[in-house]
Amino acid sequence: MRTTRGFIAGGLALLLASAVVTQAAEGWTEFRARPGAGSKALIEGSSNIHDWRVQGLIIGGGVEVGPNFPADAASAKPGKLDAKSTVRIPVRSLKSIKEDGSPYNAAMDDIMYGKLKMEEQKDIEFTLSTLTLKEVKDKTCLLDAEGELKVAGVTKKITLPMEMTFPEANRLKFSGQVDAKMTDFGIEPPAPAIAGGLIKTEDAIKFSFDWVVVKR
């Protein structure tokens, strides 16, 4: 009997909590990353012997957009947008590639994983704090995404300029690129001992991405 009563009480509490959550989320819409939607992250850099590039095709997470978030480019107006987002890229899904996109070198991947402290830090994460629509140009919304980027366990506040388009109903596509330095995240640019220190990787990198999310 006590068990039944407890169960009913628990159920009521859950219903009440659900109602509160529903109330809080009213007017908000969730978009989630989907496989095969065309998401891609690219990190490019250089060294004194050749350029290099690393690609990731798994970009997880999602965006919750609020009442003032535009349904299309035509209705978009400059200003702060209601949006919450966390994006994650599994470190081990990043692979070095050649210019033509084919796999490059597994040993290079292992070096990168070491530098990104993959064993302790499984993901690269970006948590959005403020999303500002600057202007609308040719059906493209130009945005500034402020937030925290966590790489190799080091968190930095960044502003990420990006574009948002509406490729089709129920879909949002975010694209952008930003310059950064490895040392900003405590990563010493690789200087392979095997080459007697003659090969030096540049500190500067360029991060670019396409991220497509689909309405749930």
Partner 1 sequence: MLARTWTGGIFGPHMNRMDTTQDVTRRDFIKGGSVATLMTMLGGIELTARAAEAEAPAAPAAKVPKTRCAVIGLGSWGREIVSTLSRIERAEIAAVCDTYGASLKRAARSAPGAAQVQDYRKILEDDSVPAVIVATPTHLHRQIVIEALEAGKQVYCEAPLAHTIDDARAIALAARKATSQHFQSGLQLRADKHRAFVLNFIRSGARGKAVAARAQYHKKQSWRQAAPSPERELELNWRLNPETSVGMVGELGIHQLDASNWIHDALPVAVTGFGSTMLWRDGRELPDTSQLVVEYGNGVRLVQTCTLANSFEGEYEVYYGTDGTVTFLGSKSWLFKEADAPLLGWEVYARKDSFYQENGIALMMDASKQASHTQQVADVITPLQYALDNFLQTASVVKAAAEDFTETYGEDEEALKEHMASSAVPRQPGAGYLEGYQATVLAIKAHESILKNQKVELPANLFELA
> Which segments of the chain does DSSP mark as H helices, in order?
2-25, 106-115
Cβ 171 to partner 1 shortest distance, Å: 15
| Between 181 and 216, CB nearer to partner 1 | 216
**Sign of the C-alpha dihedral, residues 78, 72, 89, 30?**
positive
> Is residue 206 within a helix (H) or strand (E), and if so which, with residue range?
strand 201-215
The contacts of residue 170 (CB under 8 Å, 6+ apart) are 214, 215
Q: For residue 101, how many C-alpha atoms fall within 13 Å in the half-sphere facing its CB?
A: 4
Cβ 208 to partner 1 shortest distance, Å: 17
Contact residues: partner 1, CB under 8 A: 33-36, 49-50, 55-60, 88, 90, 92-93, 95, 97, 101-103, 105-108, 110-111, 113-114, 190-195, 199
| Between 36 and 79, CB nearer to partner 1 | 36
| Between 79 and 196, CB nearer to partner 1 | 196
Cβ 194 to partner 1 shortest distance, Å: 5
Q: For residue 25, how many C-alpha atoms fall within 13 Å in the half-sphere facing its CB?
A: 11
| Between 14 and 107, CB nearer to partner 1 | 107
Beta carbons of 49 and 199 less than 8 angstroms apart: yes
| Between 109 and 144, CB nearer to partner 1 | 109
| Between 115 and 173, CB nearer to partner 1 | 115
Cβ 54 to partner 1 shortest distance, Å: 12
Cβ 11 to partner 1 shortest distance, Å: 27
Q: Provide DSSP, 140-161.
A: EEEEEEEEEEEETTEEEEEEEE
Question: CA–CA distance from 44 to each of 41, 57, 98, 185 (Å)?
Answer: 10, 15, 11, 16
Cβ 33 to partner 1 shortest distance, Å: 7
